[in-house]
Amino acid sequence: MSSSFRRLKCISMLDSLPKTSSHIQQIHAQLIINGLKSPPLLAKLIEHYCGSSHQHIANHAHLMFQYADKHDLFLFNTLLRCCQPKDSILFFQSAFSEGDMVFDDYTYIFILGACARFPSTSTLLLGTQLHARIVKHGVMSNIMVPTTGIHFYASNKDIKSARRVFNEMSERSSVTWNAIITGYSSQRAGHKQYAFSALLLFRDMLMDESGVMPTDTTMVCVLSAASQLGMLEIGASLHGFAEKTMCVPEDDVYIGTGLVDMYSKCGCLESALLVFKRMNQKNVLTWTAMITGLSIHGKGEQALAFLYEMGANGMKPNAATFTSLFSACCHAGLVQEGIDLFCDMNKKLGVMPNMQHYGCIVDLLGRAGRLKEAYDFIMGMPVRPDAVLWRSLLGACKIHGDTAMGEKVGNLLLQLQEQSFDDLAPRSEDYVALSNLYASAEWWIKVETVRKEMKVRGFLNKAGCSSVQTANLNAL
């Protein structure tokens, strides 16, 4: 049997096998026995190994790269593309330090993509250095390189650098426009300002002379921006634009979900329900968006009914769905229903509670004035409670005038903050909250004690501020 035939046979077998099949390792052994080192064949094996959910199997992908006769750039790029982001970054840094490989534009696309999926201070520094190297070596001619750079900067919350890369591009594709619009609409800090910038970019996209047209991804992003701003007129206009130029939005699950979210958050629940009912296909995000909308509008019982309707349609809720359901229970005062739901979410529906879900129950009990139950719930948690839970209970104590419980919770919160290495702002707010609790009970001596303690520790009270939206709708 010729080596070419054996190679083709192995490739065919790899294409037909599931990623978790134990036969992959047998094929790997056959490659070694027969001395087959074809890059396409090794690349397919790398893809299969990287797709495994078991780390010890995924590690075999690196062995495949080392098995090659030389450091093949195609295999190197395949490994960068298929590995988990953190592993890709470490692998690239190791190869870069050795200095025996010449990278191409695909290398930079894959490593910048990994840095975008694993945002941190260190990856931002690495990506910035890569950007400088890309400019120096003139690799920007491939439009996907700067486009991935935009995605990288936006994911690492450096939207100014993302915009600078975008502005410097002489040619832009729909993917490029989507990257910058998504980058603006996904920023949290100062989100209204960035959301408005996303809408302005969408206008610029429509007016661009290149004739690049929006895609479903574009529409989802601008609908999200409109919902963040609460601009119903803009959202309705986007709905009409999608219907006239792209498709019937109810036939696209992602645009339809975006419309449900937009109409709900812009205060038009009936329109959201109408779009939801007309949708031919719904996923868990669609159901969650509708439940969130009902929650926002205080329709707790209707939101819970949607959970059971969701199950009847063969759709399983996820963690975000339960967060919205608990919020609905909070807004509607459905305390017992919320507690029952929490008990059932893991046992009957197979969703493990996370810290946010625990916080929702504390908020639910706190709003109802059941402070002792909330305290016992926190103390009985199987995981260590964070500061957010204690702050929620402290706020409830102030509202319901339980100064004794509030003092107990406040001291626990301050002790927790002393053990952490967070910045000083949360600690300042916690001292102020405890001081306000004492002031509401007219315990002025303790108020003075807390304020003096803040001064000794150098904690400053953050000044309050407010904002007014002045954006002109006609500007769009």
pLDDT of residue 424: 44
- 20 — pLDDT class (breaks 50, 70, 90): very low
pLDDT of 365-401, one tens digit each? 999 999 999 999 999 999 999 888 999 999 999 999 9
| Angle CA 237–242–245, to nearest 5 | 115
> Could you identify the residue written with the tokens 């301050």?
414
Distance CA 181, CA 325 (A): 30
2 exposed, middle or buried (CB, 10 Å; 0-12, 13-18, 19+)? exposed
Q: For 243, how many CA atoms within 13 A lie in the half-sphere containing its CB?
A: 10
Distance CA 103, CA 105 (A): 7
With a CB cutoff of 8 Å and minimum separation 6, the contacts of 268 are 232
Q: Residue range 73-84: average pLDDT?
A: 89
Distance CA 68, CA 37 (A): 6
Distance CA 48, CA 27 (A): 11
Q: Kindly state the DSSP code that residue 303 receives in the 8-state scheme.
A: H
Strand, coil or helix: 316: coil
Q: Is the pLDDT of residue 50 over 90?
A: no
pLDDT of 147-205, one tens digit each? 999 999 999 999 999 999 999 999 999 999 999 999 999 987 667 899 999 999 999 99
pLDDT of residue 328: 94
pLDDT of residue 304: 95
In 17-72, which residue ranges form alpha helices assigned H by DSSP? 23-34, 39-50, 55-58, 60-67
For 317, the token pair is 């809720």
Distance CA 378, CA 220 (A): 38
For 437, the token pair is 């609790």
pTM: 0.80
Q: Is the pLDDT of residue 423 over 50?
A: no
pLDDT of 224-239, one tens digit each? 999 999 999 999 999 9
In 232-268, which residue ranges form alpha helices assigned H by DSSP? 232-245, 253-265
| Angle CA 174–121–95, to nearest 5 | 80
Q: Is the pLDDT of residue 301 over 90?
A: yes
Q: Does residue 77 contact residue 102 with C-beta atoms inside 8 Å?
A: no
- 469 — pLDDT class (breaks 50, 70, 90): low
Strand, coil or helix: 200: helix
Average pLDDT, the chain: 85
For 156, the token pair is 């690492």
Distance CA 309, CA 314 (A): 9
For 442, the token pair is 């007219």
Please report, rounded to a whole number, the percentage of residues in the chain having pLDDT higher than 70: 82
Q: Does residue 332 contact residue 300 with C-beta atoms inside 8 Å?
A: yes
